[in-house]
Structure 1
């Protein structure tokens, strides 16, 4: 199972985690930018302009059971609008982006964080989300051994998670 970009965001849930503003931002990748390297891409791009970096969140969803917020960096233009200079890994032309200046305090070793939330009340989903969040913490710290252990733990509950996933589809 993989996360996908949601067609519709769960706005009521987003409000419950204090995200009130989500903007559609055009992707206009620049030469030399790399997929999954938004922070470095923006820093490189800003060397030739006086614009600013804007940190925030983009969204991925695992069926109807979990929502993942991935920290993301875009360029903030003088008029206050945003531009994404990083190529999409999914071929999208726009992203849903929630600006959040607090992301800067969550960056570790120049790695951007993620936050994963359950969308349903279920013991297996809760366990999966806990593992996902711990994996993110270990990824930020570059602890490869812990990441490998967590991946094994997620594998061990995968059949149960698939069952829950299938039971919560529309």
Structure 2
């Protein structure tokens, strides 16, 4: 099971965690832009265009059970509109994005952070979210052994997670 760009974000849940503004941005890939390299893609764009760096969160979901906010960088144009210039991992031409300049201070080892939230009250989903949060921390720390261990733990609960996803679909 993979995280995917949702058709709609769970606004009620986002409001409950203090997020009140979500924008639906078009993706216009910068020439030479690479997946998972948003900061450098924005820098390439800004060499030939006006604007500035805008940190924030992009959204992906695992079924209807888990929401992931991933640190992301887009272009803030002179008219204050936002533009994503990074190719999507999910072969989409739009993303959901919330500006948040504090994301820049959360960068560790040149990696952007993620926040993972359960959208349902389910024991296996809660366990997966804790593992995914730990995975994010190990990724930021560069702990490859920890990542491998967590990936194995996720694999061990994968069938139960699929059942939970089906239960809440």
Same fold (TM over 0.5): yes
Distance 1:109 1:43, change over 3 A: farther
CA distance in 2, matches of 1:161, 1:49: 45
SS of alignment partner, residue 35 of structure 2? coil
**C-alpha contact 2:4 2:90 (8 A) present in aligned 1:** no
List structure 1 segments (4+ residues) > 3 angstroms apart after TM superposition: 47-50
Correspondence 1:89 to 2:94: no
Secondary structure at 1:157's aligned position in 2? Answer: helix
Q: Is 2:121 the counterpart of 1:121?
A: yes
1:70 aligned counterpart, secondary structure: strand
Deviation of the 1:39 alpha carbon:
1.4
SS in structure 2 of the partner of residue 120 of structure 1: coil
Could you tell me which runs of 5 or more consecutive residues in structure 2 were left unpaired when the two chains were aligned. Answer: none
Match of 1:151 in 2: 151
C-alpha distance in 2 between matches for 1:166 and 1:26 = 30
CA offset at residue 76 of structure 1? Answer: 0.5
Equivalence map 1:1-170=2 (5 Å)? 1-169=1-169
Local SS of the residue matching 1:103: helix
| Two-structure CA RMSD over aligned residues (Å) | 1.3
Count of matched residue pairs: 169
- TM-score, length of structure 2 as denominator length: 0.94
Structure 1 residues 79-124: Cα deviation after superposition (integer angstroms, max 9, x where no partner): 1111111112223222111111111111111111111100011111
